[in-house]
Structure 1
Amino acid sequence: MQYLKEDVKERILKAAFQEFKDKGFLDASIRNITHNAGISTGSMYRYFNNKEQLFDTIIEPVYNKLFRNVLNLQKSTDSCSNPIGEIMDIKVQILDIFKENSSELLILLDKSKGSKYENIKEHMVLLTDNILKEQLLPQLKEKNIVVKDTFITYVLSTTLIEGVYTILKNYDDGVEISFLIDQLINIFFTDIDQRI
């Protein structure tokens, strides 16, 4: 009997994963999930209390990996003075997660509106912005380059995170993704002191 329960739960999770991948959290329908799992809506509620719990079951492991890595990076920014190195560390962390959980990461980054995870991209932007403000701006100041409005670091950070997301969304090959993200970072930061 236990085997059958696990089989039903796995069918629900598989159908929910596809529904969230196709429609995102906000537009996902329990009715569609149960239909695609081949069970009644009442049966689904024996396994999951609601759509939020179902989404959490699928997305939370990836969120926890990303959040844990982001926290570690935030702690290490105080001891590092190389913003490009820090941003490369973020890239490596994201690629490691992408290798194991590409679809879940993409759902987290782009299809979690309406869930408790909907601000994850903004958290990544703020982390990057913090790195640039704390490390890049002082380096520019040492070269007598004054940035008149520090909001530019937020704009750079937003564009960089959206660029990384776009690459992840459109490519499957980890080597190609890494190459493209490196190119993007180089375009942003190579000789930045001469372009500001």
Structure 2
Amino acid sequence: MAKQKAGVYDKVLECAKEEFLSKGFLDASLRTIAQAADTSTGSIYTRFGDKEGLFRAIAEPVVDQFKSMFRRVQEDFHQLSEEEQRADMGQYTARHQEEMLDYIYDHFDVFRLLLDGAHGTRFSCFLDELVDIEVEYTYKYMEVIGCESVKSGLVTEEFIHIIVTAYFNGMFEVVRHNMDRAAAHRYVKMLNRYHMAGFSTVFDPQS
């Protein structure tokens, strides 16, 4: 087997990220990426398999770590007592939202790709996967606090899905608007207060 030239792998990833950001996955050209990386399309196929494999090499490590972080935050909260969950829900969410936001800004270009350049890949459903996790743990929280609003039919499952989707779309607008990190933290803090007030109508719909 021929020895692979040092540095080509990282250079291909760098050039691929720029091409995907500029054109999106579907319109991105492996030929253009290869030329920019001073290599051949054959070397890209050897290293990554195909264009989606190249996109996956950029996106998958970030997505897997972010989802793992998000599930850990949710599960750690679920392990708290009912009293602790009732008392700390809003503050807990705000604290860990900042942690997740910093992770997003540490990998800003990848999240730009996930939001606006992933159509045609399995990563195009990234936000939907986050929504599903949040909905799952929202139901767990409602069970812990004895919330009957869904069981009674006063609040529907579809409505919970809608408000959680709005919550995540709002959070990721900081990426779509290319906000700097400090502005994003201010925006998301305000957004969190707004949504926590709204969620109270689900958890205590009679108030």
Query: Fold-level match, TM-score > 0.5?
Result: yes
TM-score normalized with structure 2 length: 0.76
**Matched AA of 1:124:** L
TM-score normalized with structure 1 length: 0.80
Determine whether 1:91 maps to 2:97.
Answer: yes
CA distance in 1, matches of 2:200, 2:71: 29
CA distance in 1, matches of 2:13, 2:200: 50
Q: Where in structure 2 are the equivalents of 1:162-177 lying within 5 Å?
A: 162-177=169-184
- More displaced stretch, 148-157 vs 38-47: 38-47
User: Does structure 2 retain, via aligned residues, the 8 Å contact 1:95–1:178?
Assistant: yes
1:192–1:49: structure 2 CA closer, same or farther, 3 Å change rule?
Answer: closer
Partner SS for 1:5: coil
Determine whether 1:24 maps to 2:24.
Answer: yes
1:183–1:65: structure 2 CA closer, same or farther, 3 Å change rule?
Answer: same
CA distance in 1, matches of 2:47, 2:201: 58
1:117 matched residue in structure 2 = 123
Report how far residue 161 of structure 1 moved.
0.6
Partner SS for 2:72: helix
Determine whether 1:153 maps to 2:160.
Answer: yes
User: Does structure 2 retain, via aligned residues, the 8 Å contact 1:20–1:107?
Assistant: yes
Identity %: 22
User: Does structure 1 retain, via aligned residues, the 8 Å contact 2:48–2:57?
Assistant: no
Structure 2 unaligned regions, length at least 5: none
Tell me how many residue pairs correspond in the alignment. Answer: 193
Determine whether 1:190 maps to 2:186.
Answer: no
Report how far residue 54 of structure 1 moved.
1.4
1:89–1:120: structure 2 CA closer, same or farther, 3 Å change rule?
Answer: farther
1:35 matched residue in structure 2 = 35
RMSD: 3.1
Structure 1 unaligned regions, length at least 5: none
